[in-house]
Amino acid sequence: MLDAAQEGDYAYPAINCSSIPTLNAAFKAFADQKSDGIIQFSTGAGQFASGLNHKNAALGTIVLAEAAHRLAEQYDVLVALNTDHCQPHVAKDFLDPLIEATAARRARGENNLFQNHMLDASGLPLDENMAISKEYLAKCVEHEIILEVEAGVVGGEEDGAAGTEDTPAEKLYTTTEDMLAVHEALSPIGRYSFAATFGNVHGIYKPGSVKLDPSILKKGQDAVIEKYGKEAEFDLVFHGGSGSTLEDIRETLAYGVVKMNVDTDTQYWFSRPIASHMMQNCEGVFMIDGEVGNKKVYDPRSYLKKGEENMALRVAQACDDLLSTGKSIYGDV
């Protein structure tokens, strides 16, 4: 999938999911658009999926991933599974059990549970970031898993992501020197993807609030290719994609971006029709003045289906924006 995206100058939407309806929304959109894609789970999604009594991020994520494998059997597109923004202090309790779960499936002759994991050590000095990244890349390579790393910090704060609202501006832009250092540290071990930052901010903001500079990606790519050859080209990841302009998104594709995370927008598109449902059916949902309500409108399926359908529309838009629509390689593998 990554090779096809690099060669075709397109990228995959990476859709954060936390439930069966959100999984189904992503699958529906990918299939409808004939686009391959990526589904990913944060530690917060795993906690949510495991239930309020336990909040076991690893177990909940395994449950979601196993469900995704079964649901995917219905569709003729390729979907890779990823984890999102695992910070170093929780890696042993989160990433290690997930890598072990993939190892167990492989031992049974089954497909990987996950094709990709993200270790977000961007809050550490670069040398410490690379030290732990090398450790986890070696673990991943053993099981044909790609590790996603980050250098520089994505601003904002979302579901455990490393940035904060007051992240210093200079930290939002990865330097060319840091990009070279990432290549030199990790390329001898195996294949990885790289979230280099170029002003990205988690969440969604009014136009003009976020200052992206995609040229940073081009400078870093040019530097590593000039020094180490074309085979050194990064598989780049665009974090904080919600709310970005189409112009900025398309520019990054030419610089080696093969994955763009979409979370905030899809959360809104899922929730918006549910809010409308509640307002339009308040008497039936809330049993006002002692009435019996209307089961058809307080049945969770009645409004979750609307959320699923609307979220699928936003995922489809992401496929169009990233030029992956119509480019599934499902029949070629």
CA distances from 52 to 45, 68, 88 (A): 12, 21, 24
User: Is residue 147 within a helix (H) or strand (E), and if so which, with residue range?
Assistant: strand 146-151
* Long-range residue pairs from 52-58, CB within 8 A, at least 24 positions apart, any chain: 57/90, 57/93, 57/94, 58/93, 58/94, 58/97, 58/98
Cβ count near 132 (within 10 Å) = 15
At 326 the three-state DSSP class reads: coil
Q: Which residues lie below 8 Å from residue 215, measured CB to CB, with a gap of 6+? A: 198
CA distances from 43 to 47, 61, 71 (A): 6, 8, 21
Ordered alpha helix ranges (H), the chain? 2-8, 20-33, 43-50, 57-72, 91-107, 126-141, 176-186, 215-228, 246-253, 264-280, 282-286, 295-298, 300-321
Catalytic residues, by residue number, are 84
Transcribe 222-281 into DSSP letters: HHHHHHH-GGG---EEE-S-TT--HHHHHHHHTTTEEEEEE-HHHHHHHHHHHHHHHHHT
Contact (CB, 8 A) for 105 and 140: no
Contact (CB, 8 A) for 316 and 33: yes
DSSP-derived secondary structure letter, 214: T
CA dihedral (61, 62, 64, 69) positive or negative: positive
